[in-house]
Amino acid sequence: MHRFLKYAWFQGKCVPFEEANVSIATHSLHYGTAAFGGMRAIPDPLKRERILLFRVDKHIKRLCQSAKLLLTDLSEEYVMESLTEIIKANKPDMPIYIRPFVYTSDLGIAPRLHNIETDFFIYAIELGDYLSPDGVTCRISSWTRQEDCALPLRGKISGAYITSSLAKTEAVKSGFDEALLMNRHGKVSEASGMNLFIVRNGELITPGVDQDILEGITRSSVIELAKKEGITVIERPVDKTELFIADELFLTGTAAKITPIKRIECTEFSSKRPIMNKLKNKLINITEGRDSNYEHWIKRIELNNNKS
């Protein structure tokens, strides 16, 4: 069971989580006409009464771009102000996952995005490891990743996650932890809610943005870190057979962070993951505010005063 933080941001103010409720007739509940974000925040290990958010500017920008795909204007400044308010109200003392959500809030039955009211809320849960840091097992899903021409995949549109939900449950019910989805061209796209990386011959390879992937923020961070560490990064189509002969495989995402893949179907992989481990350790140091070269990736929010 998730432990929800005490306060949520709802209809323009902080309210107790239990009071942040919508009607059963809410438009987005019926049609998936909503967009969400996912952000991680942790207590600063170097200073009490301070919270660290990882690349919050990128997360907010993507959320507002997702809102545009729903023909909705959402201000980046408003999202940041709202986010700051609920963090200060909750004063979390352990790692949390934050879910901002923009949605069509009208009560109606016609599927549309015109002449309709929208609203915005934020809530948060306590969250440690979403996936096992020791590694996960995966299967190739029987479900196919949607195409950008059918759904706006560069946004985190809530209705698009039916495929992810089907793939995840199929994987778990058949004895695996996660699912890997192929696109309609038979190339590897992504996992149910994570991007995929493989290592072959010392090179880091990941499906490109033309492979119907979500443009993940952890993904782009890993690519940037790898390049600065002198690791060759290649964004290109990935064939299914490449998965089974890779030297290392791992998933990335806000919830998943960097998680190794230890088996795909009946193929086991080495527990020696030098490139993944190097990138993972680097990312941990950055998210904990211990790397001065990446200060610009961290937003600090003071809990005991109005500074942030």
**Which alpha helices (DSSP H) does the chain contain, by range?**
27-31, 56-69, 76-90, 161-173, 217-228, 240-244, 274-287
Helix, coil or strand: residue 198: strand
Quick one: pLDDT at residue 305?
64
Looking at residue 229, its amino acid is E
Same domain, residue pair 190 and 162: yes
For residue 1, tell me if it sits in a domain: no
The model's confidence at residue 304, banded by pLDDT at 50, 70 and 90, is confident
Show the domain range for 207.
Answer: 136-272
Share of the chain above pLDDT 70, in %: 98
pTM as predicted = 0.94
Number of domains in the chain: 2
Same domain, residue pair 186 and 106: no
**Is it the case that residue 307 has pLDDT exceeding 80?**
no
Quick one: pLDDT at residue 1?
64
Question: Among the three residues 79, 97, 126, which one is the final residue of a domain in this structure?
Answer: 126
Question: Cα-Cα-Cα-Cα dihedral of 41, 47, 49, 52, to 10°?
Answer: -20
Spatial separation of the C-alpha atoms in residues 49 and 25, rounded to whole Å: 40
Same domain, residue pair 145 and 256: yes
DSSP for 96-120, please give it. Answer: EEEEEEEEE--B--S--SSS--EEE
Same domain, residue pair 140 and 233: yes
Question: Among the three residues 63, 91, 126, which one is the final residue of a domain in this structure?
Answer: 126
Same domain, residue pair 153 and 259: yes
For residue 143, tell me if it sits in a domain: yes
Asked if 28 contacts 105 with a C-beta cutoff of 8 angstroms, the reply is: yes
Residue 233 has phi, psi (to 5 degrees) of: -115, 130
CATH at 175: 3.20.10.10
What digits encode the pLDDT tens for the residues 180-216?
999 999 999 999 999 999 999 999 999 999 999 999 9
For residue 303, tell me if it sits in a domain: no
